[in-house]
Amino acid sequence: MESSAEPIKKFVIVGGGTAGWLAAATLGNIFRHSDVQIELVESEEIGIIGVGEATIPPLVDTLESLGIDLVEFIQATQATFKWGIRFENWRQNEHSYFHPFGELGQKIDGHEFYQCWLKLKSHGDSTPLMAYSPESLLSEKMKFFLPHQAMNTPLAGARFALHLDATLTGKYLRDYAQQAGVKRTLGHVESISKHLNGNIASLTLQSGEKVSADFYIDCTGFKGLLIGNALNSNYQDWSESLPCNRAVTVQTTIDQTDDIPPYTISRAQDAGWSWHIPLQHRMGNGYVFCDKYISDEQAITTLLKNVTGTVINEPKIIPFTTGIREKIWHKNCLSLGLAQGFLEPLESTAIHLVSKSLALFIRMFPAKTENSVLENEFNRRVRMDYEEIRDFLVLHYCISERQDTPFWQDWQHRKIPASLTQRLDFFSQQGGLIPEVEALFQSTSWYAVLDGMGIEPKRYNMTLDALDVDKLRASLAAGKLALTHSVETQPDHRSFLQKYCGVQFG
């Protein structure tokens, strides 16, 4: 097969936050031994947003695909491990549940584990669903180990992610990208000129220098300088579904002898929720809230009441609007990170969306001139990712029993996406949730949140009537016993970081 299409010879990435440097590292790695040039322009005066410290398991795969050594990365970014998220006060005050990353139990005679558990429950068994989750049990006991080191145990399939320092992660990725040949230009993009066909032609920096490329990647954060200002791809506001529109963040000290939770804490508050992310050297904390219900000052007071340790920095307010660009890839420009869209960080999905968008872009890699077919398909798929995540986030709120503040009362009447209503109706019949192809949140995640919030289907799938209850009970009990035993033998999280990752505390 012969191709006459002209290849892209130069990329310019604008923005040096996590999105920009992750894009630079990924493209730098791919084009390391070629004549394709990659240049990243960033403004040091503007700086980066500096949040984005909880991740999900695909980040570990991304690091691996870049050939990054996990231990080296953990040392460089003050990272800790994460098995999932502990949700506190979401169903009601004083109630908590866990959303683990991995699978729950094993299939029995081909039946989904959740269905087996439902059947046993309908026969009077009161064992909680999370008693069968490796990540939930490991979190409860503050333990960590690498699952591949526990082959042939019930823990082998456990999945983990990292908590990381956003600024240090940016620096690490920057070093990586520069070593892979990416050119870094410090400068403030002041104006953008276009060709007659509407493609971006060049960028002019404050210094007067002109920078041009065949293809541009907009990583300029919420402002979306290229995709929005220059190419007029509007930002579609999703605050009807996800009304929180501000966050206040603050860092606090972490006790250097206490257990380090191998999970993120998400605590529902009067007008939103707060996060608490343990790193090796500090805690990252934030309160995501809606300004219709409380002021910035009230949010700061609430956040400060919820933190542990001593406050290290001044609380910082970050305004945002949840939503997505109408066109994420438009003409010769791809937007990534906050320039592409934003869903509140309840399930730590933003950095993942950068990697996933990049991976998709690479699979669809355009030539210099052709783009509209690829562009349309790309935009359709990324939008599906956003819609899927939006629905999952809305789920956390809309099934809450809380009615103790106007924020939670309003959730009782809020219009929720039709796709979510349809899914909840489907679940209520017999509990089955059939995963969408390539969905990020598979059935286990939905079961964890639904069960954690006290939502159950009317009945289990009737094919399980053929399963003998006593055999089922014995099988689940044996699985639980093996799991509990395997968890006991694992090191605690802090010791693991010290011994296996060479982390030195204090």
Interface contacts to ligand FAD, rule CB under 6 A? 14-20, 41-43, 46-49, 51-55, 166, 188-189, 219-221, 223, 225, 247, 286, 318, 320, 337-339, 345, 348, 350-351
Residues in a beta bridge with 161: 82
> At closest approach, how far in Å is the CB of 59 from ligand FAD?
8
- Strands 323-325 and 341-342, how do they pair? antiparallel
**What's the min distance (Å) between Cβ of 240 and ligand FAD?**
19
Closer CB to ligand FAD, 223 or 383, in the complex: 223
Beta carbon of residue 433, minimum distance to ligand FAD (angstroms, whole number)? 24
Instruction: Find the shortest distance in angstroms from Cβ 157 to ligand FAD.
Output: 23
CA pair distance 382, 340, nearest whole angstrom: 10
Residue placing its CB nearer to ligand FAD in the complex, 184 or 281: 184
Spatial distance between the Cα atoms of 189 and 186, rounded to a whole number of angstroms: 10
Q: Which residue number, 348 or 400, has a Cβ lying nearer to ligand FAD?
A: 348
Which residue do the tokens 């082959």 mark? 151
Residue 303: φ, ψ to 5°: -60, -45
Least separation in angstroms between CB 213 and ligand FAD: 14
Quick count: other Cβ atoms within 10 Å of Cβ 488?
Answer: 10
- The C-alpha atoms of residue 491 and residue 137 are separated, in whole angstroms, by 13
Task: State phi, psi for 238 to the nearest 5 degrees.
Answer: -110, 20
Tell the smallest beta-carbon distance from residue 148 to ligand FAD (Å).
24
In the bound complex, what is the minimum distance in angstroms from residue 356's beta carbon to ligand FAD? 11
Output 214 or 347, the one with its CB closest to ligand FAD.
347
Q: Count the Cβ atoms, other than its own, within 10 Å of residue 140.
A: 16
Query: Which contiguous run of DSSP H or E holds residue 249?
Result: strand 246-252
Separation between Cα atoms, residue 113 and residue 479, nearest integer Å: 11
Strands 161-163 and 80-82, by their bridges, are antiparallel
* Rounded distance between C-alpha atoms, residue 216 and residue 235, angstroms: 19
- Residue 118 or 162 having the CB closest to ligand FAD: 162
Structure tokens at 189: 């993009």
Query: Tokens in use for 279?
Result: 């790193």
Would you say 178 or 495 has its CB closer to ligand FAD? 178
Under a CB-based contact definition with an 8 Å cutoff, are residues 20 and 184 in contact?
no
Judged by CB, which is closer to ligand FAD: 55, or 332? 55
Minimum distance between the CB of residue 357 and ligand FAD, rounded to whole angstroms? Answer: 11
Residues forming a β-bridge with 275: 266, 286
- Measured from the CB atom, is 5 or 312 closer to ligand FAD? 312
